[in-house]
A and B are shown apart, each in its own frame.
Chain A
Amino acid sequence: MIDGLKEQVDRIIETFVAESGSIQTVDNLRSLKEKYFSRKKGIITDFYASLKDIPVPDKPAAGKLINELKTRIEEKLAVQEKEILSRAERASDFTLPGIDLPIGHAHLLSRIREQIEDIFLDMGYEIAYGPEIESEYYNFTALNFLENHPARDEQDTFFIKDFANTILRTHTSPVQVRYMQTHKPPIKIISPGKVFRKDEPDATHTPVFHQVEGLLVDKGITFSHLKGTLELFIKSFFGKDVNLRFRPSFFPFTEPSAEVDISCFLCFGKDPQCRICKGSGWLEILGSGMVHPQVLLNCGIMPDIYSGFAFGMGIERIALLKHEVIDLRMFYENDLRFNSQFG
């Protein structure tokens, strides 16, 4: 009796699978469901009704069989319905655009500054900060700019009204003086920040710009250490193939002094029409030198025991070269069509 029932169940399942296989719409699926589960004459409903004819001892086993059959068909119907629905959903247009989410940007100068700082932090330099409004003492005198020497004219200076000997710093070197006066060697710092020179704004000048200066003071520091350090920096920043060259120069606070050029990272000197180096093959990038013994003395460091080097670079200049910005004023115009191209 039970075996017969089992066969019957298997047949119903077979039929159901065959019938459901070709169904593609939820409506047809519902009709099929009706066919099996309709209260009036559904196949499964009828099956339950036939239970009453089963002998009592077989009833529990038969009931179990029919319950299993019901669950299996219900599950199959549910799975198929889900599939049909999700197929329908997939049919809508997923090429429609998403939301144009706003994207923000760091200022290019901030990014360049962060990159430069990162390289020197990795080399064990600390960052030192100082005021933008400075005394002439820290900006010039302590740095061996002689009073009334034309070297002071080279850095056209803004003066502050009503405050004697007070200026807008023309470089971040005063930060180094302040640091040296309050710390003992070894000293390894960089001082990034805004600086000011009285230049009418044009494509290559802005009266406000940014510098990163570096200073290392210890026993036995040589000019070659400066070259090695800058070489490491330049290659880290511009690429391993970029070389640098030292040219003699003059800064009141360094002796010997060197202007540092890097080989053109775009054409490597091979393109006479190069839009960056104009064919010279070299780009002026920073000023540097051995800290002048008088500067060390002014900061309470004995030059017969310690020596040091210092260097300084303009962030705008580096950004301009690296990203081929054509006009320095764009850094301060804050037109978002410019600012949003970087960072």
Chain B
Amino acid sequence: MKINLEYLKNFIRLEEGKVEFKALLGDIGIEVGEIADHNGQQVFEVEITPNRPDWLSHYGVAREFHARMPAWELLPLEVDEIKEDLAGEDFTIEIASTADCKRYTGCIIRDIQVKESGPAVKDILSSLGLRPINNIVDVSNLVLMTIGQPIHIFDLDKLAGNKIKIRRAYNDETLKLLDEQTKELTDKFLVIADQQKPVALAGVMGGYDSGVTFSTRNIFIESAYFDPFLVRRASRTLGLITDASYRFERGGDIMITRKAIEYALRLIRQSQAQDINITYLNDVFPKGFLPQFLEMEKNFPGTYAGIPIDDQSAASILQDLGFKVTDSGSKIWVQVPSFRVDIHGKEDLVEEITRIYGYDKLASHIPLTANTAVQIDTQREITRTIRNHFIALGFNEVINYSFQSPEENLLVSAETPFIEIKNPLGKDFSVMRNSLVPGLIRNTVHNFNQSIERVALFEFGRTFSRRDDRIVEKEILGISASGEYMPGHWQRTGGIPFDFYLFKSFVAGLLKRFKLPFTLSEKICPYLREGTAFSLVIDGKDYGSLGELAPAVARACKLEKPLYVADIDFSAFLDHIRENRFKPWNKFPAARRDFSFLIDKTVKYMALEAQIEALKPRGLEAYILVDKYEGENIPADKVSLSMSFSYRDQERTLTNEEVNRIHQDWVRQLIENLRLIQR
């Protein structure tokens, strides 16, 4: 909303030069954006929080200024008061349901002249960003901007019959609005209807056919209080946000409808050459208004906010804001003004008092609360360790949106339906991600396109899936690597690219760091290259996968180099990390024996390892594959492997003979079981 400082002076005696108005507005809670100059007048663009519809007018802002600066006198709004309703016409106003419309004030003026507004009115309106139309429509806009009450003015002669009814629309009715759009209505809409048809969409916009034009002679002015929910629903359903709907949906001042008309009458009178002929005024207000009363201990503002304010000052702040305060011993009774729809409890009163007293005067105290023991946050510790682990290995952390395109989800799994967003920002962001892998692919492609040679990434994030009509969120660690691992160096020729085994070592290294008892087991995975896909299994449970991106997927993603990816369910860490306990190490010397052999190509290393694990004798501490050779001098169906075994006894130094015996004995078993040929 815009506030014209010059215009504001009609309602409060501002003392300029002493304060900066922007800061003053900020102090009372009105955020100022741009400050524009309109023909020498300062115009503030202000942001009004949704709880304060009373601020959506110049008079509302003047009232706040007055509370903050009591020396600035708040001037009464000058209106043409009409004490008694007028019944100089055969006209009726009927409210179908007081739940939908609690008050409706209507007024008829005859024999007016519609013309352009005078320059003063035009200037004010245009400074507030409104287009002057004619002296009558301009009055309704000026009333809105001045006191915040939306009024609507009809051309009386275009209304059929002599009755206005505020009712729900019928399901087949249509209404052409002032913006010349025709809307189909249902009983969800509240309308103003004449004896034949709807003539306005209550609280949102008037009808085109009954609008005031330069040929209008007689007018009907409406000022009402419509149910905020109905206005909001109509406005949202039709995508039509107007100055009126914006105010009504926030809840207006039910006590101002009549005064708004009286103010309009004054403005219309001023716009006319001769005196105006008011023939009818009917204020339909069946249930009246019961003001709200609140009770508050006098010391409450001091204790709740922690400000040193005396009872008297607190009370006078409330009075300056329009509250009525009655003293009752240790408490006060506060009557909430009708325009303060945001006040419901004593905490609200504390905010009012503190706000006007000055937030800058709040003391700073450190709360001395009973501190409960704060346990070490395991999830956070693990996350931090993993993050630092990968950083040290040269990986970069990324963060992607939690949603992506359906195509990206499909890369990983055809298991639909995905978790979809009803109102996404576009197709690329329309499903909740089922995996971190597509994001890592996207990031890799992006960086390769920027000529970055080495793209090693990790991400912590959630994935989303459905299970039995429930949404399951999982915390996942995603890892990927592609391109160059080590750059070329003069000591060797060429760099070292990432490859499957290197990547596997990174992933295994992380799991070993946490001493997770994992195994990798081969699997089929749609987005991983056949043969390279492995499950990460702990205690029989699958916690994630690892492998090279399938060439077809890589091609689809325009990725030219092989990409290695892993995604690990974070619960693998939470479920299996154990407290570390000290273990004494073996003090006796180790003895190494090498063993070279030929093995059938069909036997995978994993099977060999399983045999070693199954047969390994007491004293075998570690083993490692040191060489692999196939080709010349080796039968075509065989591969030559060399392994190095390390023996050590827990209790004593093994003699050479003992080591030889242990080694030969069990190697013989290996040879027999796997039909190896010793070399």
Q: Which of A159, A186, A259, A333 is in CB contact (< 8 Å) with B372?
A: A186
Query: 1/0 per residue B389-415: CB within 8 Å of A?
Result: 011111111111111000000000000
B653 CB to closest chain A CB (Å) equals 34
Q: Which residues of B contact A162 (CB under 8 A)?
A: 417, 420
- On whether the beta carbons of A247 and B399 are closer than 8 Å, the reply is no
Q: Given the known A-B contacts A188-B372, A221-B367, A258-B359, are A133 and B377 also in contact in the complex, defined by CB atoms under 8 Å?
A: no
Interface residues of B in 342-381 (CB under 8 A from A): 342, 345, 347-348, 350-351, 354-355, 359-360, 362-367, 369-372, 374-375, 377, 379-380
Interface residues of A in 297-343 (CB under 8 A from B): 307, 331-337, 339-340, 343
Instruction: Determine whether A216 belongs to the interface, using a CB cutoff of 8 Å to chain B.
Output: yes
Q: Which residues of B contact A334 (CB under 8 A)?
A: 398-400, 443, 446-447, 457
Q: What CA separation (Å) do A227 and B366 show in the bound complex?
A: 8
Q: Given the known A-B contacts A104-B391, A127-B380, A246-B359, are A231 and B485 also in contact in the complex, defined by CB atoms under 8 Å?
A: no
- On whether the beta carbons of B391 and A105 are closer than 8 Å, the reply is yes
Instruction: Determine whether A225 belongs to the interface, using a CB cutoff of 8 Å to chain B.
Output: yes
- On whether the beta carbons of B372 and A110 are closer than 8 Å, the reply is no
- On whether the beta carbons of A198 and B423 are closer than 8 Å, the reply is yes
Instruction: Determine whether B617 belongs to the interface, using a CB cutoff of 8 Å to chain A.
Output: no
- On whether the beta carbons of A256 and B390 are closer than 8 Å, the reply is no
A233 CB to closest chain B CB (Å) equals 11
Q: Which residues of B contact A255 (CB under 8 A)?
A: 345, 347-348, 350-351
- On whether the beta carbons of B396 and A336 are closer than 8 Å, the reply is yes
Query: 1/0 per residue A102-116: CB within 8 Å of B?
Result: 111111011000100
Instruction: Determine whether A124 belongs to the interface, using a CB cutoff of 8 Å to chain B.
Output: yes
Q: Given the known A-B contacts A132-B462, A162-B417, A334-B457, are A150 and B232 also in contact in the complex, defined by CB atoms under 8 Å?
A: yes
- On whether the beta carbons of B422 and A161 are closer than 8 Å, the reply is yes
A307 nearest CB neighbor, chain B only: B304
Instruction: Determine whether A137 belongs to the interface, using a CB cutoff of 8 Å to chain B.
Output: no
- On whether the beta carbons of B398 and A246 are closer than 8 Å, the reply is no
- On whether the beta carbons of A224 and B398 are closer than 8 Å, the reply is no
Q: Which residues of B contact A206 (CB under 8 A)?
A: 401
Q: Given the known A-B contacts A166-B471, A336-B452, are A343 and B423 also in contact in the complex, defined by CB atoms under 8 Å?
A: no
- On whether the beta carbons of B249 and A228 are closer than 8 Å, the reply is no
- On whether the beta carbons of A224 and B307 are closer than 8 Å, the reply is yes
> Interface residues of B, CB < 8 Å — how many?
92
Stretch among A1-9, A27-35, A93-101, A263-271 lining the B interface = A93-101
Q: Which residues of B contact A63 (CB under 8 A)?
A: none
- On whether the beta carbons of B367 and A107 are closer than 8 Å, the reply is no
A248 CB to closest chain B CB (Å) equals 3
Q: What CA separation (Å) do A102 and B482 show in the bound complex?
A: 13
Query: 1/0 per residue B557-598: CB within 8 Å of A?
Result: 000000000000000000000000000000000000000000
Q: Which residues of A contact B456 (CB under 8 A)?
A: 102, 104
Interface residues of A in 110-140 (CB under 8 A from B): 110, 114, 117, 121, 124-127, 129, 131-133
- On whether the beta carbons of B51 and A250 are closer than 8 Å, the reply is yes
Q: Which of A99, A222, A248 is in CB contact (< 8 Å) with B351?
A: A248
- On whether the beta carbons of B394 and A103 are closer than 8 Å, the reply is yes
B457 nearest CB neighbor, chain A only: A334
Interface residues of A in 235-294 (CB under 8 A from B): 245-250, 252, 255-259, 290, 292-294
Instruction: Determine whether B28 belongs to the interface, using a CB cutoff of 8 Å to chain A.
Output: yes
- On whether the beta carbons of B419 and A133 are closer than 8 Å, the reply is yes
- On whether the beta carbons of A125 and B490 are closer than 8 Å, the reply is no
Instruction: Determine whether B425 belongs to the interface, using a CB cutoff of 8 Å to chain A.
Output: yes
Q: Which residues of B contact A258 (CB under 8 A)?
A: 359
Q: What CA separation (Å) do A92 and B355 show in the bound complex?
A: 75
Q: Which residues of A contact B26 (CB under 8 A)?
A: 247
Q: What CA separation (Å) do A206 and B429 show in the bound complex?
A: 12
- On whether the beta carbons of B399 and A109 are closer than 8 Å, the reply is yes
Instruction: Determine whether B250 belongs to the interface, using a CB cutoff of 8 Å to chain A.
Output: yes
- On whether the beta carbons of B369 and A218 are closer than 8 Å, the reply is yes
- On whether the beta carbons of A159 and B421 are closer than 8 Å, the reply is yes
Q: What CA separation (Å) do A283 and B28 show in the bound complex?
A: 18
- On whether the beta carbons of A232 and B366 are closer than 8 Å, the reply is yes
Instruction: Determine whether A223 belongs to the interface, using a CB cutoff of 8 Å to chain B.
Output: yes
Q: Given the known A-B contacts A224-B306, A246-B360, A256-B354, are A159 and B390 also in contact in the complex, defined by CB atoms under 8 Å?
A: no
Instruction: Determine whether B513 belongs to the interface, using a CB cutoff of 8 Å to chain A.
Output: no
Q: Which residues of A contact B364 (CB under 8 A)?
A: 224, 227-228, 231
Instruction: Determine whether B473 belongs to the interface, using a CB cutoff of 8 Å to chain A.
Output: yes
Q: What CA separation (Å) do A331 and B397 show in the bound complex?
A: 11
B447 CB to closest chain A CB (Å) equals 5
Instruction: Determine whether B110 belongs to the interface, using a CB cutoff of 8 Å to chain A.
Output: no
Instruction: Determine whether A178 belongs to the interface, using a CB cutoff of 8 Å to chain B.
Output: no
Q: Which of A158, A159, A343 is in CB contact (< 8 Å) with B391?
A: A343
Q: What CA separation (Å) do A48 and B106 show in the bound complex?
A: 139
Q: Which of A168, A194, A224, A228 has its CB near the most chain B CB atoms (within 10 A)?
A: A224
Could you list some 20 contacts between A and B, CB below 8 A?
A100-B487, A106-B387, A110-B460, A124-B374, A126-B374, A131-B471, A150-B249, A154-B50, A158-B424, A200-B425, A216-B367, A223-B306, A224-B362, A228-B364, A229-B367, A245-B359, A247-B27, A250-B51, A252-B51, A332-B399
Task: Taking A163-B419, A250-B52 as given, write out 10 further A-B residue pairs in contact, using a Cβ cutoff of 8 Å, ordered by the A residue number.
Answer: A97-B489, A110-B460, A206-B401, A208-B403, A218-B369, A249-B49, A255-B345, A255-B347, A255-B351, A293-B345
Please list the 4 inter-chain residue pairs (A to B) with the smallest Cβ-Cβ separation, ordered nearest first.
Answer: A102-B394, A224-B306, A248-B29, A256-B351
